[in-house]
Amino acid sequence: MLKLTRLDHRTVAINPTLVAWVEETPDTVICMVGGQRIMVLEKVDAVIAAFIAFYERVGRAPIALHEQELAAVLPDARGSVHPHGED
């Protein structure tokens, strides 16, 4: 669970695996998979950092990397990843 702060300064804990998207409008809006929206004081970058920290704590890979980010982390992997172990 992630602890965030609602606009009225109450603490809310959310399950990051149920977040569909996060947007700054200028307030930060978190949309859950079920459609519920939660507005929080934290900026999008802080929410993303909290998501990554959560996934690191539970030992799961963080948010999927874009191709450029993947190439920076695994330069030899570009173009060599095959679904379902196919060659």
Beta-bridge mates of residue 19: 32
How many structural domains comprise the chain? 1
Q: Tell whether 35 is covered by a domain.
A: yes
Answer yes or no: is 87 within a domain: no
Q: How far is CA 49 from CA 5, 8, 24, 42, 84, in A?
A: 15, 22, 15, 11, 30
Distance separating alpha carbons of residues 40 and 44, to the nearest angstrom: 9
Whether the CB-CB separation of 11 and 3 falls below 8 Å is answered with yes
Higher-confidence residue of 13 and 83: namely: 13
Domain that holds residue 69: 2-80
| Confidence grade of residue 84 (pLDDT, cut at 50, 70, 90) | very low
Instruction: Give the Cα separation of 42 and 22 in Å (integer).
Output: 11
Q: Model-level pTM greater than 0.85?
A: no
**pLDDT tens across 2-14, in order?**
999 999 999 999 9
The predicted structure's pLDDT at residue 14: 95
